[in-house]
């Protein structure tokens, strides 16, 4: 029996058991990760697994769901929840995953902003990630329509009305022409055509787009190496050779396949414990009680609002009239895409080492939370004032970002 030395890492364990020649062949295509990174770098893996949970649970739900305005509500709330064995479990998994995945997305986004992970050749990583965010948002919105409850119907009505600004005018507005809203709905109000096409988007086109964008996002990660939590420039070629020479403690990098992946799996285990705790004990947070009533086009809910992950964006729209509101809404969506180009500083470092940028980051984070809270509350009284201030603060922060970062001294 071979005598193995005590392994100091999972990578060492594989080195000893696979043999030197085989491990060197593996290392030729190895992907190296900086050592000085924390658990927040595991959010990509957590997102990938959560998306798989959504896919698997969604396939089971598709077996019994009926994309018909007369059957959809009962197929979800009676057939799946009461008649199908463990149907309730698959619905809870799908609902909780649809909500939690946005929490992880936002953590992932703000981690990248905080550590400057969009800078120095990493622009494509950021843009592909933001494309994923937009596609996930479209996937979530289309899925929210499918239970065909009260909030499904009226949220669909309000959100599609945003696109009224794109409706064409003929002969100075004297003639009516079908606009983008009618094209999206397939009718003048949400109905059977609306539900059927959103079902098709939710179960086919958007998941395929997400899978393609995930491939693009992971591929973009290999163009430059990922940055680290100290903003330190690392010579990956030198440090990887040092690691392979046996100086695993002195090297500033670690292998993705064995060492970093083991840390990812630990974080994933903690996340899944939290996730299934929500599934079994606190799933109601992901199910809007208003949506447990069947859709009724003749009865408007007292207060219409989207799911929590859209509330900040919805609040940006509310203080303005239709056309200015549409401009503000579009600006809010595009602003995050432009962060790599709005940030004019050459420094790649955590926000806490970048002076004014640190203040910008924390003000923006708090403002997003305020916008989310205000979006759930009715726009009246003091809530209207706070919401308006938060919206103008949000818009001002992105306008000020180039100026703040240009004033930053090069390190």
Same domain for 254 and 121: yes
| Any domain includes 258 | yes
Q: Which of 59, 206, 213 is nearest to 125 (CA)?
A: 213
Q: According to the model, what pLDDT value does residue 10 have?
A: 52
Range of the domain at 51: 29-301
Report the C-alpha gap between 344 and 354 in whole angstroms: 12
Same domain for 168 and 84: yes
Q: Is the pTM higher than 0.95?
A: no
Domain boundary among 234, 267, 301: 301
Q: In the predicted model, is pLDDT for residue 285 greater than 80?
A: yes
**Does residue 371 contact residue 316 with C-beta atoms inside 8 Å?**
yes
Same domain for 69 and 182: yes
| Any domain includes 398 | yes
Supply the CATH number for residue 363's domain.
Answer: 1.10.287
Domain boundary among 284, 301, 318: 301
- Work out how many domains the chain is built from and give that number: 2
Q: In the predicted model, is pLDDT for residue 349 greater than 70?
A: yes
**Does residue 292 contact residue 149 with C-beta atoms inside 8 Å?**
yes
Q: Tokens representing 256?
A: 């993705």
The H-or-E segment that residue 110 falls in is helix 87-115
Supply the CATH number for residue 148's domain.
Answer: 1.20.810.10
| Any domain includes 180 | yes
Same domain for 38 and 99: yes
Which of these ranges, 25-29, 57-61, 376-380, has the smallest mean pLDDT? 25-29
Q: Tokens representing 355?
A: 């002076």
| Res. 6 pLDDT band, cuts 50 70 90 | low
| Any domain includes 21 | no
| Any domain includes 279 | yes
Highest mean pLDDT among 37-41, 230-234, 274-278, 326-330: 274-278
DSSP 218-277: HHHTTSS----TT-----HHHHHHHHHTT-TTT-SEEEIIIIIHHHHHHHHHHHHHHHHH
Q: Tokens representing 169?
A: 């005018």
Q: In the predicted model, is pLDDT for residue 175 greater than 50?
A: no
Q: According to the model, what pLDDT value does residue 327 have?
A: 84
| Any domain includes 384 | yes
| Any domain includes 210 | yes
Mean pLDDT, rounded, of the chain: 85
Same domain for 275 and 320: no
Burial class for 177, CB neighbours closer than 10 Å (0-12, 13-18, 19+):
exposed
| Any domain includes 7 | no
Same domain for 212 and 127: yes
Same domain for 326 and 187: no
**pLDDT tens-digit profile of 137-167?**
999 999 999 999 999 999 888 888 877 766 5
Domain boundary among 279, 301, 323: 301
**pLDDT tens-digit profile of 210-226?**
999 999 998 888 777 77
Same domain for 39 and 100: yes
Report the C-alpha gap between 36 and 232 in whole angstroms: 9
């Amino acid at each position: 029996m071979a005598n193995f030395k005590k392994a100091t890492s999972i990578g060492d364990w594989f080195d000893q058991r696979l043999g030197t020649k085989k491990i060197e062949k593996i290392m030729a295509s190895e992907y190296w990760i900086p050592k000085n990174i924390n658990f927040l770098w595991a959010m990509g893996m957590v997102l990938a697994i959560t998306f798989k949970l959504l896919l698997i649970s969604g396939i089971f739900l598709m077996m019994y769901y009926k994309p018909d305005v007369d059957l959809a509500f009962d197929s979800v709330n009676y057939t799946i929840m009461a008649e199908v064995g463990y149907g309730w479990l698959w619905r809870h998994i799908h609902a909780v995953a649809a909500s939690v995945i946005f929490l992880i997305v936002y953590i992932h986004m703000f981690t990248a902003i905080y550590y400057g992970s969009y800078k120095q050749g990493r622009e494509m990583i950021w843009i592909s990630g933001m494309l994923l965010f937009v596609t996930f948002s479209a996937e979530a919105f289309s899925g929210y329509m499918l239970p065909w409850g009260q909030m499904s119907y009226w949220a669909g009505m309000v959100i599609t009305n945003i696109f009224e600004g794109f409706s064409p005018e003929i002969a100075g507005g004297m003639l009516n022409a079908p606009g983008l809203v009618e094209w999206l709905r397939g009718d003048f109000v949400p109905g059977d055509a609306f539900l059927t096409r959103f079902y098709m988007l939710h179960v086919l086109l958007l998941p395929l787009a997400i899978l393609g964008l995930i491939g693009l996002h992971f591929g973009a990660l290999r163009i430059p190496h990922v940055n680290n939590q100290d903003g330190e420039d690392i010579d990956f070629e030198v440090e990887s050779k040092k690691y392979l020479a046996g100086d695993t403690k002195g090297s500033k990098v670690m292998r993705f396949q064995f060492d970093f992946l083991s840390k990812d799996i630990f974080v994933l285990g903690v996340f899944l414990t939290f996730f299934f705790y929500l599934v079994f004990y606190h799933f109601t947070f992901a199910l809007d009680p208003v949506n447990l009533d069947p859709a009724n086009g003749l009865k408007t809910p007292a207060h219409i609002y989207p799911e929590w992950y859209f509330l900040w964006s919805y609040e940006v729209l509310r203080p303005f009239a239709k056309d200015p509101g549409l401009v503000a809404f579009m600006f809010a969506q595009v602003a995050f895409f432009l962060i790599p180009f709005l940030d004019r500083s050459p420094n790649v470092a955590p926000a806490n080492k970048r002076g004014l940028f640190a203040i910008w980051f924390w003000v923006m984070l708090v403002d997003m939370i305020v916008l989310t809270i205000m979006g759930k509350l009715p726009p009246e009284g003091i809530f209207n004032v706070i919401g308006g201030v938060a919206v103008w603060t949000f818009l001002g922060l992105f306008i000020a970002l180039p100026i703040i970062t240009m004033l930053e001294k090069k390190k």
